[in-house]
Amino acid sequence: MDGEALTAVLGELAGAGVRALTAQPPTLEALFPRHYAGAAK
């Protein structure tokens, strides 16, 4: 996401009353679901 878009989104969130935001990178399972399908059953 580019900086200008992020600034706009954060401004909208702050205007809506959001006071905290946590972002996490996706897990390997989320990135490559076909490789993990059925592995944890």
So where are the chain's domains? 3-36
**Rounded CA separation 27/12 (Å):** 27
What's the pTM?
A: 0.51
- Render pLDDT for 9-20 as a digit per residue (tens, 0 to 9): 999 999 999 999
Question: Residue 41 is encoded by which pair of tokens?
Answer: 């059953």
Helix (H, G, I), strand (E, B) or coil at 3: helix
Q: Is 18 within 8 Å of 25 (Cβ atoms)?
A: no
Residue with tokens 């989320």: 30
Residue with tokens 């900086």: 3
Residues 23, 28, 33, 35, Cα dihedral to 10°: 180
Residue 39 has pLDDT above 70, yes or no: no
